[in-house]
Amino acid sequence: MPIAADPLLSRGFMGDGVIDFATISTWVREAGYTGDIEVEIFNQEVWDADGDTVVETVKARYAELVLPYA
């Protein structure tokens, strides 16, 4: 995945990169964690996008990539 000039601003939506959410979410569940799950996206393009669209994308990606394993 391409990295921005400032690598700290290279975080995209869940699923845009190479993180194995199924495995990590399973580990977290098996460890007994039942708390909140936070999504942080540091990316100027996402910040500039329509907020409703961003929220809907995050909800859809969470439902697909994390929720089945949480």
Taking only the tens place, the pLDDT of each residue in 50-60 is 999 999 999 99
Count of structural domains, the chain: 1
In a domain, residue 34? The reply is yes
Could you tell me the pLDDT band of residue 46, with boundaries at 50, 70 and 90? very high
Condensed to tens digits (0 to 9), the pLDDT of residues 3-27 reads: 888 888 888 999 998 899 999 999 9
**Average of per-residue pLDDT across 34-54:** 94
In a domain, residue 2? The reply is no
In a domain, residue 64? The reply is yes
Angle at the Cα of 35 from the Cα atoms of 1 and 30, rounded to 5 degrees: 75
Contact 11, 43 (CB under 8 A): yes
Cα–Cα dist 39/11, whole Å = 10
Domain that holds residue 33: 7-69
Question: Looking at residue 1, what is its pLDDT?
Answer: 64
The whole-model pTM stands at 0.84
10 Å Cβ neighbour count for 65?
A: 19
Cα–Cα dist 2/21, whole Å = 20
